[in-house]
């Protein structure tokens, strides 16, 4: 049972374009949704995160859009740069009780061509 579904599996964007990665979740108890960026040979690094009480969060060129009713959230990378080429993971977490784990999507390999 895959609780967080991520698409697309891979994405190719031209420099300066907009990269969009989508995630859908099943567990309505999730209340924390981070995005991680992973470069080859490195561990995942937290990029940006959102809680369901807001519909959008922006940090620089990165924006999370959140649709609670559809149980979907997405990452938008504006003005994509070759240095953004990496694998991106969405994740979800449920707060409270004995819930400490992050549940990850399968990842999206982003390639930004110069």
Partner 1 sequence: DAGVTQSPTHLIKTRGQQVTLRCSPKSGHDTVSWYQQALGQGPQFIFQYYEEEERQRGNFPDRFSGHQFPNYSSELNVNALLLGDSALYLCASSFDGLAKNIQYFGAGTRLSVL
Interface with partner 1 (CB under 8 A): 4, 6, 32, 34, 36, 41-46, 49, 89, 91, 93, 95, 98-107
Beta carbon of residue 113, minimum distance to partner 1 (angstroms, whole number): 22
Beta carbon of residue 26, minimum distance to partner 1 (angstroms, whole number): 15
Q: How far apart are CA 52 and CA 12, in angstroms?
A: 29
Q: Which is nearer to partner 1, 8 or 16 (CB)?
A: 8
Q: How far apart are CA 44 and CA 99, in angstroms?
A: 20
Q: Which is nearer to partner 1, 68 or 101 (CB)?
A: 101
Q: Which is nearer to partner 1, 20 or 48 (CB)?
A: 48
Beta carbon of residue 50, minimum distance to partner 1 (angstroms, whole number): 11
Residues contacting residue 40 through CB under 8 Å, at least 6 positions apart = none
Q: How far apart are CA 66 and CA 82, in angstroms?
A: 26
Helices and strands: H and E segment counts in the chain: 0, 11
């Amino acid at each position: 049972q895959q609780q967080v579904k991520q698409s697309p599996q891979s994405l190719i964007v031209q420099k300066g374009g907009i990269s969009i990665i989508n995630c859908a979740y099943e567990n309505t108890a999730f209340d924390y949704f981070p995005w991680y960026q992973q470069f080859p040979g490195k561990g995942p690094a937290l990029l940006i995160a959102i809680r369901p009480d807001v519909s959008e969060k922006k940090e620089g060129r990165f924006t999370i859009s959140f649709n609670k009713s559809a149980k979907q959230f997405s990452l938008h990378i504006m003005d994509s740069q070759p240095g953004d080429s990496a694998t991106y993971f969405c994740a979800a977490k449920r707060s409270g009780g004995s819930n400490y784990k992050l549940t990850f999507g399968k990842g999206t390999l982003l390639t930004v061509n110069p």
